[in-house]
Amino acid sequence: NEAKYDEAIKYMEESRQLDPANTNNLYNLARAYFYHALTTNNAESAKKSEATLAKLMELKPTNTRALTFHGSILTFISGGKDIPKFMQGASEMKTAIDKDPQNINNRIVMPFTARNFPPQALAAMGNYDGLKDLEFVRDAFNGQTYYYAPHADVVMKAFVGEAYKARGDEAKAKANFEAALAVAKPAKPG
């Protein structure tokens, strides 16, 4: 809820001041900055996200979710001009997947980040193709419902459908779109 963003950030920053080593709070704060940076193209939020994720990785170096978000925000900060920063970000996202291939977070951040890359950047990353990762996430959400994301199953099927459509594979695109439309609506309103 964009209207509550500033208030939420205020409370998370206060929590960080009270307990600067609380890795759960740092992760949520970094993600809030991350999404704000990406949705509003806010460079200051991007810097705050990067710094918060760097601190989190310092406190908990095994946290691959932090590594993948850190990699994603580095590619954003690079603006396509700082090639070493971009490559570091791409490498971090790949490393996060390699270290924890069953982690849905890692498998979704990289393909969504890569959707915004030009073909030259994908070539520099070894011609990364996010379809395999998107299918992994789609399959993990298949038939599942979550109170915090009742739409996850339908959305992932639609994203995979879009990926197939972009490749020109109309049959697989149609199958995924039809599967998305067949997902039952949540039982509870809202």
Q: Is the pLDDT of residue 18 over 80?
A: yes
Query: What gap in Å lies between CA 80 and CA 145, rounded to an integer?
Result: 37
Among 17-26, 141-150, 175-184, the minimum mean pLDDT is found in 141-150
The arithmetic mean of pLDDT across residues 149-156, rounded, is 88
Contacts of 4 (CB under 8 A, 6+ apart): none
pTM for the predicted model, two decimal places: 0.88
Q: Give tens-digit pLDDT for 111-139.
A: 999 887 877 777 777 778 889 999 999 99
Sequence-separated (6 or more) residues with CB below 8 Å from residue 64: 95, 96, 99, 100, 103, 105, 106
Q: What is the Cα–Cα distance from 180 to 130, expressed in whole angstroms?
A: 19
Structure-token pair, residue 125? 């990353």
Confidence (pLDDT) at 139: 96
- Please, is 42 exposed, middle or buried when counting C-beta atoms within 10 Å of its C-beta (0-12, 13-18, 19+)? middle
Structure confidence at residue 190 as a pLDDT band (50, 70, 90): low
**pLDDT (mean) for 93-113:** 94
Q: Is the pLDDT of residue 4 over 80?
A: yes
Residue bearing tokens 């993600």: 31
Dump pLDDT digits (tens) for 55-81.
Answer: 999 999 999 999 999 999 999 999 888
- Helix spans in 102-151 (H): 104-114, 119-124, 131-141
